[in-house]
Chain A
Amino acid sequence: MDTLTLPKDKQTAAKQETVEVTGSVALLDALIAEKVDTIFGYPGGAIMPIYDALYDYNDRLKHVLVRHEQGGIHAGQGYARTSGKVGVVFATSGPGATNLVTGLADAMIDSTPLVCITGQVFAHLLGTDAFQETDVINITTPVTKWNYQVTDATEIPAVIAKAFFIAGSGRPGPVLIDITKNAQLQKFSYDGYKPCDYIRSYRPKPLVRKEYVQQAADLINKAEKPFVIFGQGVILGKAEAEFKAFLQKSGIPAAWTILGMSAIATDHPQAVGMLGMHGNYGPNVLTNECDVLIAIGMRFDDRVTGRLDKYAKQAKVIHLDIDPAEIDKNVKSTVPVWGDCKETLPLLTEMIEPKVYPQWLQKFRDFEQQEQEICIQPELHPDTEILTMGEVINILNDLTKGEAIVVTDVGQHQMVACRYAKFTKTKSNITSGGLGTMGFALPAAIGAKFGDPARTVVAVIGDGGFQMTLQELGTIMQSKVNVKILILNNQFLGMVRQWQQLFHERRYSFVDITSPDFVQVAKGYGISGQKVSEREVLRGALETMLNHNGAYLLEVMVGKENNVFPMVPQGCSVSEIRLK
């Protein structure tokens, strides 16, 4: 009874042991009990009873009407990533549900906690090819951590409790609950919401085995050239403080994966940059020189490792991860430390000796110097007239002082933004890492703003990706979402063009993309904006964008055929990284 928060007209009944409610009301009551404040959704026939109930919950549940369900789920992802909570998404059956699939796949591979509620046709119509019936459970099975179809209202409280527990615990992920219309309408006697904290077949995290932590500490204590590589696990595990304490005592240089970025400040004294295909020079090359590689909350994605049979072969590998299926999946570990890094890191910190590695760290700095001369300097301070993406990000850093949330889409601008953005706070770098979903940034930025309204949110998007989900400008307009949209327009599908240039003899096959007048488009949605292509006005334009009261779109015309370097070409080892 304690969590019962029914509409006012029903509250008298709540004094009794149980109360008659519909499945829809039980669902919304469950969401409130789970402290949900924002829902991203889109209505339709099969979810109408839930939307009808929502009408009475307007004062307690904020519903953001998106323009496409894919936008809704990416917004849910953005929300989850900046708030550290579970994102909630509503969609109707059939096309509404299938529009969620890209977002589910994205959330699955990037471990984003979501609870998606889809409406479904009446239970008696299941399997009959009814109007807007689609087999959502089977379509979404490979892209959900868990999914379940509710056909009876009495199941709702327990199923929603399970959904939140599964989505948010262990290695987080998306959960989809499909609720048939009859269950949404059905009345049943409800005795309140009980959160779930245990499922017998599910172990979100194990008891930590200290002997493995000890083995890891022994390796670290003997190491001469240890190297830490970390991923989103540190952020998802809310273990930033524990991680910093570990770094401080161990003195070990540390590099991030694209999703681990911002877990520590980018200017941390031991930070040596980003790993991977377009990461920094030093961390890539020195992966193949370190003697102990300490991987924390990361999964050795192929974009990070390059050619696996030439990856860190000389090193002993310590792998800290909460998901046992990740351990030894791509890289064989010498010492596996299965567990929640919020628990394992403090144990490890306690067991290691305080150390510093000035010479070893200097090696990273030397590589950095080379990268600075060949790649960074010309990107951030070009001597050509044409603007580069890097200089835009560089000025942005200057203006935001690294305090903004940067949401990126997919392509060259994403790599440039992640290479050059400065961050001082965790949960600041929001991007589609594992799936590489173009169209992610605009809706994810909307969610990111709802997830952490006090912070500035800048969405950095390519001219191609923006056209994939630009309908969400409507959401920004209607819900008055204060996001800054920064389009880096190179008039190409840049990343694909770069590959065609480098690996397909410049045969530019369908990468020349025409765009509308983005500023006019924004204007149509009542969103202010401007377009710039000259250096003299760039800083001023970025200032205007950031200082503008409300959403703003700034389109910056950049070099058409600029490339992102360094680059580990596909099929090459990380030490074969190219600076040009």
Chain B
Amino acid sequence: MSKQEYTITVYTENHIGLLNRIAIIFSRRKINVESLNTSPSEVAGIHRFTIVINEVEDVVRKLVRQVEKQVEVLKAYYNTNDEIVWQELAMYKVPTDEIAEKVKVERLLREYGARAVVIRKDYTIFETSGHREETDRLVQVLEPFGLIEFVRSARVAIIKSSRGFHEKLKEFEALRPGANIVENEFLDKQEEVFTM
């Protein structure tokens, strides 16, 4: 078994201290978190974490069980890159006069699917999304044109094989979810776990 990128998706309550509780599960084993996104889900009060780490599957599975074991974690899953569609958002700030002068820039931006978010006399902010390599490449391209600032978000990912996530998540809004949520699904194979 060799290390590879795994994306861990965690649904949690929106509680103070939970980020630390989840983070220390990784740091305890001296595992570096490559990317971490946390944001409210579509259901009020439920947050979704997306965590990227580089590890072997055996370790990832154990980590995910430790995560799911936390009292305030609703569900946790892990996936390889093949099993998800993911994006990272990147923003680039460049001097407006530089890019206005050089028409080439505009063509480049179009090539990278970037769009202008803010255009001012002194600077322009572009935004694009994609995989790490893609957003990185645009940094290199903009570098000669006086790149002022660059920022990139953590990964967000959709699991290709997820079924009925949204519906199941809404069930958590009910006081007591139905039997399919309290089921012993952990013992089944990965694919079948996606019943929430």
Query: Which A residues are closer than 8 A to B by beta carbons?
Result: 137-138, 141-142, 145-149, 166, 198-203, 206-209, 212, 323-325, 328-329, 336, 338-339
CB distance from A15 to the nearest CB of B (A): 30
Given the known inter-chain contacts A147-B17, A207-B183, please indicate yes or no for A142 contacting B28, CB distance below 8 A.
yes
Please give, as numbers and ranges, the residues of chain B lying within 8 Å of A336 by CB-CB distance. 187
B125-160 interface (Cβ within 8 A of A): none
Which 6 A/B pairs are nearest by Cβ-Cβ distance? A325-B65, A206-B184, A209-B184, A201-B74, A146-B71, A325-B69
A199 to B68 alpha-carbon distance, docked (Å): 14
Q: Are B66 and A325 interface neighbours, CB within 8 A?
A: yes
Q: Does B5 contact A (CB under 8 A)?
A: no
Least CB distance, B128 to chain A, in whole angstroms: 36
Q: What residues of A have a CB within 8 angstroms of the CB of B12 in the complex?
A: 201
A39 shortest CB reach to chain B, Å: 24
A323 closest partner in B (C-beta)? B69
Q: Given A200-B172, A324-B65, A145–B71 Cβ distance below 8 Å?
A: yes
Please tell me which one of the listed residues B13, B20, B179 contacts residue A201 in the complex, with CB atoms under 8 A apart. B13
Residue of A nearest to B25 (CB): A142
CB of B72 closer than 8 Å to a CB of A: yes
- In the complex the two chains form, is B71's CB within 8 Å of A199's CB? yes
B24 contacts A141, C-beta separation under 8 Å: yes
Q: Is B176 interfacial (CB 8 A cutoff)?
A: yes
Q: Please state if B21 and A324 are interface contacts (CB–CB under 8 Å).
A: no
A165 nearest CB neighbor, chain B only: B71
- Shortest C-beta distance, B184 to chain A (Å), equals 4
Contacts of A199 in B (CB 8 A): 71
- Distance A203 CA – B73 CA, assembled complex (angstroms): 10
Chain B residues, CB < 8 A from A201: 12-13, 71-74, 172
- With A147-B17, A212-B187 as known contacts, state yes or no: A203 contacts B182, CB within 8 Å: yes
How far is A137 from B18 in the complex, measured between Cα atoms in Å?
A: 11
A328 vs B69: C-alpha distance in the bound complex, in angstroms? 15
- Determine if B182 and A207 form an interchain contact, defined as CB atoms under 8 angstroms apart: yes
Residues of B within 8 A of A (CB): 12-13, 16-17, 20-21, 24, 28, 61-62, 65-66, 68-69, 71-74, 172, 175-177, 179, 182-184, 186-187
* B176 pairs with A198, CB closer than 8 A: yes
Identity of the chain B residue whose Cβ is nearest the Cβ of A166 in the assembled complex: B71
Closest chain-A Cβ to B104's Cβ sits at a distance in Å of 51
Pick the contact of B179: A137, A141, A146, A207 (CB < 8 A): A207
Q: List, in ascending order, chain A residues with CB within 8 A of B65's CB.
A: 324-325, 329
* A138 with B17: CB separation less than 8 A: yes
| Alpha-carbon distance between A466 and B120 when the two chains are bound, in angstroms | 74
- In the complex formed, the residue of A with least CB distance to B171 is A200
CA distance A209 to B61 in the complex (A): 21
In the assembled complex, the CB of A549 is this many whole angstroms from the nearest CB of chain B, namely: 46
B64 to chain A, nearest CB (A): 9
What residue of chain A has the Cβ atom nearest to residue B75's Cβ?
Answer: A201
Q: Residue on A with the closest CB to B176?
A: A198
Say yes or no: A209-B71 contact (C-beta < 8 A), given A138-B17, A147-B17: no
Complex Cα distance, B66 from A137, in Å, reads 19
Contact B21 A141 (CB under 8 A): yes
Complex partner residue of B184 from A138, A208, A323, A325, CB under 8 angstroms: A208
Q: In the docked arrangement, what's the CA distance between A212 and B28, Å?
A: 32
Query: Complex Cα distance A44/B109, Å?
Result: 64
Q: Which partner residue on chain A sits nearest B46 by CB separation?
A: A201
* Among B21, B66, B184, residue most surrounded by chain A Cβ atoms (within 10 Å): B184
| In contact, A338 and B71 (Cβ under 8 angstroms) | no
A473 to chain B, nearest CB (A): 37
Give CA–CA (A203, B68) in the complex, Å: 10
Q: Would you call A141 and B20 a contact (CB within 8 A)?
A: yes
* Chain B nearest CB, measured from A114 CB (Å): 15
Which residue of the partner chain B has the closest CB to A324? Answer: B186
Contact A141 B71, beta carbon cutoff 8 Å:
no
CA distance A323 to B177 in the complex (A): 21
Q: B74 to A206, Cβ gap below 8 A?
A: no
CA distance A141 to B16 in the complex (A): 12
Nearest B residue to A333 via CB reads: B187
A324-B68 Cα distance, complex, nearest whole Å: 9
Contacts of A145 in B (CB 8 A): 71
27 A-B contacts (beta carbon < 8 Å): A137-B17, A138-B17, A138-B20, A141-B17, A141-B20, A142-B24, A142-B28, A146-B72, A147-B17, A148-B17, A199-B71, A200-B74, A200-B172, A200-B175, A200-B176, A201-B13, A201-B74, A206-B182, A206-B183, A206-B186, A207-B179, A207-B184, A209-B187, A212-B184, A325-B69, A336-B187, A338-B187
How far apart sit A339 and B184, CA to CA, in the bound complex (Å)? 9
Kindly state the separation between the CA atoms of A209 and B186 in the bound complex, as whole angstroms: 11
Q: Are B24 and A338 in contact (CB under 8 A)?
A: no
Docked complex Cα distance between A302 and B192 (Å): 32
CB distance from B43 to the nearest CB of A (A): 11
Contact B177 A200 (CB under 8 A): yes
Nearest Cβ on chain A to B46's Cβ, whole angstroms = 9
CA separation between A147 and B186, bound complex, in Å?
26
B62 contacts A325, CB within 8 Å?
Answer: yes
Contact B13 A338 (CB under 8 A): no
Q: Are A202 and B184 CB-contacts (below 8 A) given A138-B17, A325-B66?
A: no
Q: State how many angstroms separate the Cβ of B58 from the closest Cβ of chain A.
A: 9
Q: Which chain B residue shows the least CB distance to A332? A: B58
CA distance A200 to B182 in the complex (A): 10
Residues of B within 8 A of A209 (CB): 184, 187
Question: CA–CA, A185 to B52, complex, Å?
Answer: 44
Beta-carbon contact of A202 and B187 below 8 Å: no
Q: In the complex the two chains form, is B28's CB within 8 Å of A338's CB?
A: no
Taking the closest CB of chain B, its distance from the CB of A305, in whole angstroms, is 16
- Residue in A closest to B62 when the chains form the complex, CB atoms: A329
Apart from A198-B176, A206-B184, what are 9 other A-B pairs with CB-CB below 8 Å?
A: A141-B17, A145-B71, A201-B12, A207-B179, A209-B184, A212-B187, A325-B62, A325-B65, A339-B184
Q: How far is the CB of A150 from chain B (nearest CB, A)?
A: 12
**Known: A207-B179, A208-B184, A324-B186. Is A202-B17 also a contact (CB below 8 A)?**
no
Q: A208, A209, A212, A339 — which one has the most chain B CB atoms within 10 A of its CB?
A: A209
Question: Once bound together, how far apart are the Cα atoms of A21 and B172, in whole Å?
Answer: 33
Docked complex Cα distance between A87 and B150 (Å)? 53
Which of A137, A148, A203 is most buried by chain B, counting CB atoms within 10 A of its CB?
A203
Residues of chain B lying within 8 A (CB to CB) of residue A206:
182-184, 186
Q: How far is the CA of A338 from the CA of B180 in the complex (A)?
A: 16
Q: A146 to B68, alpha carbons, bound, how many Å? A: 13
Q: How far is the CB of A120 from chain B (nearest CB, A)?
A: 14
Alpha-carbon separation in the docked complex, A212 to B187 (Å): 9
- Tell me the nearest residue of chain A to B21, going by C-beta: A141
Q: How far is the CB of B155 from chain A (nearest CB, A)?
A: 24
- What residues on A are CB-neighbors of B16 within 8 Å? 149
CB of B75, distance to nearest CB on chain A (Å):
9
Nearest-neighbour CB distance to chain B for A54, whole angstroms, equals: 28
How far, in angstroms, from A286 to B12 measured CA to CA in the complex? 44
Determine the chain A residues whose CB is within 8 A of the CB of B62 once the complex forms: 325, 328-329
**In the complex, residue of chain A having the shortest beta-carbon distance to the beta carbon of B186:** A324
